[in-house]
Structure 1
Amino acid sequence: MDDARKAQVPIKGRGAASWVSGRYEKTVAVGEDDGWGSVYEPPPPHPDTQVTEERARSVISRNDSPDVGFSQSVNPYRGCEHGCVYCFARPSHAYLDLSPGLDFETRLFAKTNAAERLRAELARPGYRCSPIALGINTDSYQPIERRYRITRALIEVFDACSHPFSLITKNAAIARDVDVLADLAKRRLVTVYFSVTTLDNRLSARMEPRASAPHARLRAMRTLHEAGVPVGVMVAPVIPMITDRELERILEAARAHGAAAAGYVLLRLPHELKQVFREWLALHFPDRAEHVMSLIRQMRGGKEYDSAFHTRQTGTGPFAELIAQRFRKAHRRLGFGRLPPLDTSAFVPPRPPSPQGELF
């Protein structure tokens, strides 16, 4: 990390506390203390959110990872104002020569032509319909969606051509779109997962400062469930000695609010996220920071992160197996099942754009 910008205090309303250097930066400034306390340069007390509008060349991303339940995804935004300190997507900001720390949650990019590009890609002659996961890298319903409504425009494209998709969010703002989601659910074209990390409002405010409060997410879950939208809960991430004790309570609360399916993901710390998370621990849980990191290493084969397929989501070792056993027991006791499969048979490709327009 740039020592001259080392985190010393948390920033209200932000998850990260410093500008952690990205792994592709060509130069990194290093501060040398001259004995006069002049090295530390704190960030502004309330860093503003800056949004850059961009025109995407394509929007459908594809993957063949064997432990991911989708092969296609669309992300309407880059960066995420929720500021979740544990977000596995933070290192993606390094590709933009921006910090996975504060820049990830303050320097955002909105793909204003996303709906237009999605329509064009779905209209290609070689396209084969399979469910698309909406907002996997960053949350589609982060606060700037209220202004840009890109996610709503994408949903309207899926609706118009009967294309199935799934959503995962930690923002109660999804309830604004319950009208179109309920209609899509009747046609087996949408499922929704809510990500819930903790039920403790104070912890949530420190860990995921601009996401909806836990009770608001549960309320939105019930709203969608009562409208007929299949909903599930993802307890993610499970953080040892911070949130792991809440696993059963989160599952119970979600079940009571209409969740029919459940899953969990163990904390993942790829690339620069290790440093962002260690800073956060030192600022908010200095009494147990080393113990938390020790448990993480125990669940990752002695490393702070292991990207091996199949085990990267759930970890290995005794502590990871204990979490898995607790989850399986609660899952069975509460009667969770699976969300209904999405229908790919009704898909009708959009008409390719024509310079002459359309009469019908």
Structure 2
Amino acid sequence: MLRHSFVGPARARRVAVAAAASAMLAGGVIPLLPTSASAVGAAQETVVPAALRSYNTRAMIRSTSTGSGHDGAGAQGVFHTQEGRTGVLWTRYADGESVAVPQRAGVSPAPTGSDVLAYKDADGRVEFWDATDGTSRSVQVPAGLGYLTAFDNLAVAFRTESAEDGTSTRIMHLLTPASDGSTRDVTVGGGPAGLQFGAPTGADARSVFLWASLDGRPRLVAVDRESGQVQSWSGPLPVAYRKVLIAPDHVVLFASGVAKVLVLPRADLSAAPAEVVLTGTADEMRGASDLAVVGDWLVNGVSPVTAQPIAGGRWR
């Protein structure tokens, strides 16, 4: 039984696999070695055994630690490519069973930070394929809206409104599949006056997180996924911290190559962020690398992998 060994893109390398070759010496062919008279005319077979390998089958996870809600790992399995297999696979954590991801001409499936992939067609249709049961749902981006990105069974689109004074405002729309097969279109609303929405940066079953600006300074905004109403917004944030990880009780912001991460309580994004320095790292040297939040722990994919409590305490 072959075991799968997942490696990050920076560590992936091509592996040459030795293969068995066989040759049949059929009757009438001059033998390579002398044979007895009784053996003349009998078919002979030479088998060259395959070379043994001392390492596992290699695989590469799709989109690791993107910090934008588009990682290839979901709650039940992970999307990846695998040595010796074509296309993208989804492998279930529980039993290691793998299924092939549907391939569509001219459309590349996009990870959504879940067990769902999104296929965006040129005509504005977005199909969501669920690897856990093989089912599909879809939405249609309405005319006049620009498509931004997709998460788990949710597409984010926008339109631009211009005011009389010449300023423009981005109006955000949340598109989800309705039970009757149509598209449910919810407009994002609420929040303080002057809040200008930017790019989406993640979503889960409860909220969609958007970058925004207020008074010319970057903020992080949580929006209710069902109603489209703004739930909470942060205070001013450092420009460099553009990567976001969403956990049930926390939101973690980090920057590539920076050892310090910022942690916001999800219940109140306006609270002052806690600063946590990742164990065994330093700026520009093994900073945040393949960072993840597991429960109340920060897991950093340095070598060796480290885990430390978000609230502080002994690391492992």
- Whether the TM-score (by the shorter chain) exceeds 0.5 is no
Which structure has more relative contact order (CA 8 Å, sep 6+)? It is 1
CA radius of gyration, larger in: 2
Structure with more helix by fraction:
1
TM-score in terms of structure 1 length: 0.25
Which structure features the higher share of strand residues?
2
- TM-score, normalization: structure 2? 0.28
